[in-house]
Structure 1
Amino acid sequence: MDVKKTVAAGMAVASVALALTACGKSSSSSSNGKLADKQVLNWNEASELSTIDPSLIQDTIGGDMLNNTMEGLYRLGKNSKVEPGIATKTKVSSDKMTYTFTLRKNAKWSNGDQVTAKDFVYGWRRTVNPKTAASYAYLFSGIKNADDIIAGKKDASTLGVKAVGKYKLVVTLDKKLPYFKLLMGFVVFAPQNQKAVEKYGSKYGTASKYMVYDGPFTMTGWTGTNLKWSLKKNKNYWDKKNVKLTAINFSVNKSTTTSYNLYQSKKLDETILSTEQAKQLSSNSDYSVLKQARTTYLEYNQTQKAFQNKKIRQAISYAIDRKQLANKILGSGTLPCLGPVSKGLVSRNGVDFADAAKTSTGVQYNKKKAQQLLKEGLKEIGQSSLSFSILGDDTDNSKKITAFLQSQIEANLPGTKVEVQNVPFKNRIAKSEEGSFDVVVSSWGADFSDPISFLDLYTSDNSYNMGKWKNTEYDKLIAKSKTTDAGNASARWDDMVKAAKLINEEQGIAPLFQLNQPQLVRTSVKGLIQNTAGSVNNWKNVYIAK
């Protein structure tokens, strides 16, 4: 999920120009036009769904499902402005350490229960509880006692969140979080119905029937492994009068040839496109390019001797022509990525963060330098050659990317042998978490419009640091940006810029590209909101026009 912009609903965004700038397709949410008799949307997904447990969510597809079936304090609306969700009012203390949210009284779960402040308290405590093993627990850092709870030093009941009656939620911080309000629109901070969690136990969120919902839609037909499911209009949703769709049907098609054929036969209303398809269809009235605050990069398994060597990591990175990958293999405005943070995420004093943090070390194509570094690196570890595998997804695009990387590395680093493993998304995630890879093609979309959404990933103890890169100075810079410098916009910016430069220079990861996704969406689909950060698709106000 990738995120950034201007916050409404009484939210004053703290310095660093944290305006959530939306890109991509965003048609009017007004349904003043004539509605088609059948209000059903048929949507394509490129990968399978892994979970709908708000505590365990990790991927964009699951984030989209939760963004439309669940509702937190706020939701990301048109032009990526945060709009009221369950919260109708926010009061912030003068020291910005206490937030008091007033909740609406007419919000209900799909099982008929009222949505109350206790549901937020329960959901948040469940997520930070180490027993849940939530990868996103780190986002709660800054809420009182969250760090100690996650570390197992304090009980989850001590988290700085409490219900004052049914309709007032008070959140206490132990350090200032300039991006706190942006977090409240992210799905991991959604409420959770304790009765449902306890009823379904370990099955909670593993299939559509093991879940209750408080958002615009409910989910049906997902068994946990199948490739088709539906969202149905939630009859208990507080704002159901503004939800026009009766259903959204999803089907997973990993081949863009298949999905485009289904689109042509009017069995789908949306499909992503390959580079070749985009070139042929760019003049089609249904065509658009979804810009994303998402970077794709290589993670090296740094528990392995070879990848503990910086020169070897740099050699691989210098051997890759990012411009060719972005322009010829992917196309559609995809950008070569020269750092860990996406371009266009946020700027300060007119300077884009990605430009401020740009370095040439390790991210430029330099065949000669790559070969010299590999020679030196192999000598340092006592090896004469290098052999490894690259792990990626089994979608059409991912297969093209891994094939390109294999070709580049073997051609530019003679004697190096590279194997490619393309597996289903769920398998790739599982292998990454287990450390069962040599090098993996990873992708991250910003969860909110702040560089820390990317930079946090590579701290030593972050659950998403799959390659296990560790750097004490990097950790210190990120910690400063979130503690002593949190209230100083200039110092915090400098901390993050230094950290971004450091990970490039040390080649903790190898940034590859920032994807812009070509797609077809029928012009009859109105009210669609697609954002660059956080959950991408908001279908709440979509309707099908005649």
Structure 2
Amino acid sequence: MWNKVLSCGIVISMILSICTGCGKQIDNSEDVGQAADSASGSAVEANTENSVSGINWPTTLTNSVHNSAAPDWIEYNQLIFNIKNTTDYKEREAMMHRAEDILMSTGAVVPLYYYNDPYLQKASIDGIYSSLFGTKYFMYAKGCTDNILRVSLSSDPTYLDPALNSSVDGACLVANTFAGLYTYNADGECIPALADEANPYEVSEDGLNYTFHLKKDLKWSDGSPLTASDFVYSWNRAVTPSVNADYAYMFSNFAGYDDGKVKAKAVDDTTLTFTLTSPCAYILDLMAFPIFFPVHQPSVEAADPDGVNPGAWAEHVGFVASGAFTLQSWEPGNRMVYVKNPYFYDAENVSVDELVFVLTSDEEVIFSQYKNGEIDFADSVPTDEIAGFIASSDPEFHIDPNLGTYYFAFNVNSHLFDGKTSMQASAMRRAIGLLVDRSYIVEKIGQTGQTIATSFIPEGMLDGNGGVFKANDDSYSFPDSSSTGYYPAEKTDATIQEAKALLEEAGYTFDSEGKLSQDTPIAFEFLTNDSQSHVLVAEAIKRDLAEIGIEMTIVKQEWNTFLQNRKDGNYDVAREGWLADFNDPVNMLEMFITDSGNNDPQFGREPYVEEE
């Protein structure tokens, strides 16, 4: 598989001079980093257009704290708004550092390592590739028996609707079934998809007004015309509150009309125009992201006339799509079979006639199927097998780079923090993060050369100002400058003592053996899906915390149940992972605004109440 580090954001940042459109415990009150003083209160130069009104920004928020232990989230929400609207790129970088400072000061997001992507691929297969962001493209694979490619990614997807999916595995299904204006090629470059190759778009000098040109004679998989009007419909649907799309916030710097609709227009069948509220350096990356893909309006409306199940139209075989494949059959818990779409704009170059997804999240089962020749590509590898593959330099074992972070998160509204102040709750969470042996997780469980994470923003991510974000420089220094982050890279006696001191600040006491006293216990549940590698990480964390008497119970759930409980805030602590959607820190940061569908820590939200 080919996987390069170039993204559209990089390309656009290289031409900013040509086109303005291209784009110790920490307390919130402290001057964290040299950039903090001016970042949060800076003025924003932006278009006076209304943003899409379905996106709730800080101008409409009141105090977002719902209990005494939860952090106030007003400043963070405002920072993200300012970041997305300023045209001062130096100040934008400073604000992003300030936002990460605030996020990490809560202790609610605990980074463990930066992702890479281990997988198995039969030696006879070639032409599969992925983006730096984890999306895999199978349509150009060669060497498949009878042109049938058999793949294992995970268990049954929650959604196949590109506006509703929010998982990496689901994004792979979407990328092979739908198409947007842009896509990624095998070199990681953003290239026109449904957009015309010779003349894809124009942008105004101020970087706010875009005109995209579609290829002529585009068709849906049922043979009906695919036009610019389909984009207008689909974008307005994506920001409709009743659709409840997790990624609706990605339209936040699109101009909107008073009725809440996106300021987009189909000039004719092949011409789409839209307006932004501020220049966007990663606009082409957005056009390659699923929530910006068109969906088939007649299918959506026929399947859900009452608007109660927006994803219903894509829950059964035969739904109308625009990508390389269409879904022919689906046996839940067993397999999904996709077949080549003859109406796909690049059908003549699609070399796979049938794409079979074997549905399971059991890594041992996946590995057995791979060894037995039942599948050609396995997207996960059992921990116990990794060392052997590396030692033998097996040509079928691959490790590709990713841009993302594996971490665990606390629900800031959990009863675990009842009776605590916000500062005490942050101290508790920070202490637990210090007790985790990241080296063990990387070396004994990950085993594929992952880098220990000391910050949430991953290493290698650009800063939008001509440099790399995770670096100490004259304008900013990380709180832990030696690790270029917020946590020491290694667990030591000193970090354990620091953790204990933080817990004492939060009101906990210790016995003569250095463990939590019976008078001040800490006990909580750690939520994870039931995949082997994730359970092993949870078990390692449990052992680390037990060293000082913290009791952690591991709760293992089936994938879709796990996702829903985590999203709802029905947990104390949960395993998390985020692969960037584009190469800019704002993508890692904006997911935590209060109204984001990906705000799993529940920042600024009302506590979860279980239905009776």
Q: Residue 79 of structure 1 aligns to a residue in which SS?
A: coil
Partner of 1:5: 6
Give how far 1:349 is off.
7.9
- Gapped regions of structure 1 (runs ≥ 5): 147-153, 472-546
Is the 8 Å Cα contact of residues 455 and 486 (structure 2) preserved in structure 1? no
Counterpart selection for 1:46 from 147, 151, 154: 154
Give how far 1:351 is off.
5.1
Partner of 1:298: 408
- C-alpha change, 1:208 and 1:220, in structure 2 (3 Å) is farther
User: Following the alignment from structure 1 to structure 2, what is the Cα–Cα distance between the partners of residues 341 and 120?
Assistant: 32
Q: Residue 221 of structure 1 aligns to a residue in which SS?
A: strand
User: Following the alignment from structure 1 to structure 2, what is the Cα–Cα distance between the partners of residues 66 and 192?
Assistant: 11
| Percentage of matched positions with identical amino acids | 24
Alignment deviations for residues 345-368 of structure 1 (CA, whole Å, 9 cap, x no partner)? 326788532234744375233111
User: Following the alignment from structure 2 to structure 1, what is the Cα–Cα distance between the partners of residues 280 and 523?
Assistant: 44
Alignment deviations for residues 444-500 of structure 1 (CA, whole Å, 9 cap, x no partner)? 1101111111011222332211112359xxxxxxxxxxxxxxxxxxxxxxxxxxxxx
Partner of 2:209: 98
Give how far 1:238 is off.
1.9
- C-alpha change, 1:418 and 1:363, in structure 2 (3 Å) is same
Please identify the structure whose Cα radius of gyration is greater.
2
Moved over 6 A (4+): 22-26, 29-34
- Gapped regions of structure 2 (runs ≥ 5): 24-114, 120-124, 130-138, 510-517, 606-612
Counterpart selection for 1:363 from 461, 471, 487: 487
Partner of 2:94: none
Partner of 1:155: 259
Q: Residue 430 of structure 2 aligns to a residue in which SS?
A: helix
- Greater alpha carbon shift after TM alignment, 446-455 vs 32-41: 32-41
User: Following the alignment from structure 1 to structure 2, what is the Cα–Cα distance between the partners of residues 278 and 56?
Assistant: 34
Give how far 1:14 is off.
5.7
- Greater alpha carbon shift after TM alignment, 55-64 vs 194-203: 194-203
Alignment deviations for residues 275-327 of structure 1 (CA, whole Å, 9 cap, x no partner)? 33121112111111122212121211111354441110111101101122112
1:197 matches 2:300: yes
Q: Residue 353 of structure 1 aligns to a residue in which SS?
A: coil
User: Following the alignment from structure 2 to structure 1, what is the Cα–Cα distance between the partners of residues 479 and 303?
Assistant: 50
Partner of 2:532: 396
User: Following the alignment from structure 1 to structure 2, what is the Cα–Cα distance between the partners of residues 23 and 179?
Assistant: 23
- C-alpha change, 1:242 and 1:442, in structure 2 (3 Å) is same
- Output aligned runs, 1:111-126, within 5 Å: 111-126=222-237
- C-alpha change, 1:215 and 1:100, in structure 2 (3 Å) is same
Partner of 2:106: none
Give how far 1:398 is off.
0.9
Q: Give RMSD over aligned pairs.
A: 3.2
User: Following the alignment from structure 2 to structure 1, what is the Cα–Cα distance between the partners of residues 141 and 297?
Assistant: 41
Number of matched residues? 455
- C-alpha change, 1:340 and 1:36, in structure 2 (3 Å) is closer
Alignment deviations for residues 350-399 of structure 1 (CA, whole Å, 9 cap, x no partner)? 8532234744375233111112212221359x971211010011101111
1:374 matches 2:510: no
Alignment deviations for residues 53-101 of structure 1 (CA, whole Å, 9 cap, x no partner)? 1111110111011111100101111111111111111111111101100
Is the 8 Å Cα contact of residues 74 and 184 (structure 1) preserved in structure 2? yes
User: Following the alignment from structure 1 to structure 2, what is the Cα–Cα distance between the partners of residues 4 and 15?
Assistant: 19
2:461 maps to a residue whose letter is L
Partner of 2:369: 262
User: Following the alignment from structure 1 to structure 2, what is the Cα–Cα distance between the partners of residues 101 and 42?
Assistant: 36
- Compute the TM-score of the two structures, normalised by the length of structure 2: 0.69
- C-alpha change, 1:138 and 1:349, in structure 2 (3 Å) is closer
1:449 maps to a residue whose letter is N
- C-alpha change, 1:425 and 1:155, in structure 2 (3 Å) is farther
Partner of 1:84: 192
1:127 matches 2:242: no
Is the 8 Å Cα contact of residues 127 and 140 (structure 2) preserved in structure 1? no
User: Following the alignment from structure 1 to structure 2, what is the Cα–Cα distance between the partners of residues 235 and 200?
Assistant: 24
2:312 maps to a residue whose letter is Y
User: Following the alignment from structure 1 to structure 2, what is the Cα–Cα distance between the partners of residues 68 and 32?
Assistant: 10
Give how far 1:257 is off.
2.3
- Greater alpha carbon shift after TM alignment, 120-129 vs 247-256: 247-256
User: Following the alignment from structure 1 to structure 2, what is the Cα–Cα distance between the partners of residues 470 and 266?
Assistant: 49
User: Following the alignment from structure 2 to structure 1, what is the Cα–Cα distance between the partners of residues 140 and 170?
Assistant: 31
Partner of 1:142: 253
1:64 matches 2:172: yes
Is the 8 Å Cα contact of residues 207 and 222 (structure 1) preserved in structure 2? no
User: Following the alignment from structure 2 to structure 1, what is the Cα–Cα distance between the partners of residues 127 and 338?
Assistant: 21
User: Following the alignment from structure 1 to structure 2, what is the Cα–Cα distance between the partners of residues 37 and 66?
Assistant: 24
